[in-house]
Amino acid sequence: MDRHEATTADGRTLRYVVAGDPTGPLLVSHHGSPGSGRPFRAEVEGAERLGLRLASYSRPGFDGSTPQPGRNVAGAAADVAALLDALGADRFATYGWSVGGPHALACAALLPERCAAAATIAGAAPSDRPELEFTAGMGAGNVDEFGAAAAGRETLSPLLSRERADLLAVTSQQLADALAPHLSARDAQALDGELAAFLTDEIQAGLRPGPEGWIDDDLAFMKPWGFDVGAIGVPVSVWQGEDDLMVPGAHGRWLAANVPGAQARLLPEEGHLTLFSNRIGDVQAWLVDRL
């Protein structure tokens, strides 16, 4: 994997990784939170198998990408446009896992001339929709975190600073215990071996420069995203596990009902982590058919 930097229109730095076939159609991935643009082996192998070029970038404040206080979800579209220009790509498809899902939808909504299709994998729905209780069904850790985010930066910042210190100190063998308040039993059991090693590395790389990316991600979710999912006109696939305490199944069902023409895969046998690790190749294959 090659690591690079792109410059945004307002002069910020975005760090990104490129893997797969350098001459193939482009996929852009959006990581979870906290995290970084360091792809999982299965993502890279899937891109290689399908003849795709995979670009995975770190959102502002993570893993050396310049922080952008006050950003909203819609801002991802401008950052991805800068990434496309750096790569010399006119057209792409995109997917996002967890918090990355809404950022993939931002690209579908705001870059329709360049974005061929988008997929969300256990992606959250908007927090400002009265018909959806945003934290209902979440684990205690997420309820506390988003409750602090709703209270504002002064409440959220010390909480995530403490959690950042804890996460930077854990080993991959300890990660499941550290994330226990966020995980279903299915996900806790799966968080071992290669998946645990990948997530530990990705989370720690993202948080090493500081907590700003994580703080700004959470705050962005407590305000309007900056675009209307009902106006999306490109193909969208919604992937959601029903055994998920980070992003409960109701979020996937809401997106499936409110994104025009969305194709939904609502899977009772998958959790938050297992959906990503087990189904990422299927998501990539769905996208490549639309490039």
Separation of alpha carbons 264 and 11, rounded Å:
38
Q: pLDDT over 70 for what percent of the chain? A: 100
Q: What is the pLDDT of residues 108-127, one digit of tens each?
A: 999 999 999 999 999 999 99
pLDDT at residue 1 above 80?
no
Chain centre distance of CA 81: 17
Q: Which domains does the chain have, with CATH numbers?
A: 2-288 (3.40.50.1820)
Q: Tell me if residue 184 falls in helix, strand or coil.
A: coil
DSSP result, 239-289? EEESS-SSS-HHHHHHHHHHSTT-EEEEETT--HHHHHHHHHHHHHHHHHT
Mean pLDDT (the chain) is 97
| Residue of 37, 20, 22 whose CA lies nearest to 79 | 37
Cβ 156 vs Cβ 179: under 8 Å: no
Provide the pLDDT for residue 29: 98
pLDDT at residue 2 above 90?
no
Q: Could you tell me if residue 30 is left (phi over 0), alpha (psi between -120 and 50 degrees) or otherwise beta?
A: beta
Does the pTM surpass 0.85? The reply is yes
Provide the pLDDT for residue 3: 87
Q: What is the pLDDT of residues 240-259, one digit of tens each?
A: 999 999 999 999 999 999 99
Cβ 17 vs Cβ 1: under 8 Å: yes
Close Cβ partners of 147 (under 8 Å, ≥ 6 residues apart): 135
- Tokens 């090659």 correspond to what residue? 2
CA distances from 4 to 1, 96, 237 (A): 10, 20, 29
